[in-house]
Amino acid sequence: MRMMGERKFLIGVLGSGKGSNFAVVADACRAGTAPAEVALVLSDVADAGILEQARQRGIQARFIPPGKFRTRLDEEAEQAYLEALRAARADLVVLAGFMRVLKQRFLNAFAGRIINIHPSLLPAFPGLEAWKQALAHGAKVTGCTVHFVDAGVDSGPIIGQQAVPVLDDDTPETLHQRIQAAEHELYPRCVAAIARGQIRVEGRRVVWGKT
């Protein structure tokens, strides 16, 4: 925990969709269960729900056009995102349904300070629509994973996981809903641990400890 008088631990959030994971992180910060503050929310989608969720909470929210590429930011857009995060003095970048791959320049700028949540128990089922992958493979257990972001696809060091059973009568929709409920518990808990300085990385291994 930061001592009284020290600068708050500040979070920048990137998202492309409704923003449900952002909302639970922001609300945990506001409630004091996560000793941090969301300073800025950025989106590559002009009418993304996450921007409205942020504005309703009085948090600075901006749409920054992603540029000419479909799956990543172009160079000009990447620079704009980095400048916005630096101006907000973000200590941690939290991805909340951000549907663009971050390239090496971005990863270098916030090395070891970018996290993501993925709807499976990584390393199982990386990539898109992981809950559908789990059903297609007949998995009996899946879940969600919070991990540091590296240059691979959902391959960074794992911070935390929460299991979700796959029921016999599950559809993609029902399974996804239960995974999202688990995400809403896990993400704020991991963000809080990072803000408290309880997380350290040893090689590929993430160790939780006391401050």
Residue entry with tokens 């291994």:
205
Contacts of 167 (CB under 8 A, 6+ apart): 174, 175
At 21, list the tokens: 């994971």
Burial degree of 18 (CB within 10 A; 0-12, 13-18, 19+):
middle
137 labelled catalytic: no
Q: 118, 147, 176, 184: which is the annotated catalytic residue?
A: 118
Backbone φ, ψ for residue 45 (5° rounding): -125, 120
Whole-angstrom CA distances from 208 to 11, 189, 196, 198 are: 20, 12, 11, 6
Catalytically active residues are 118
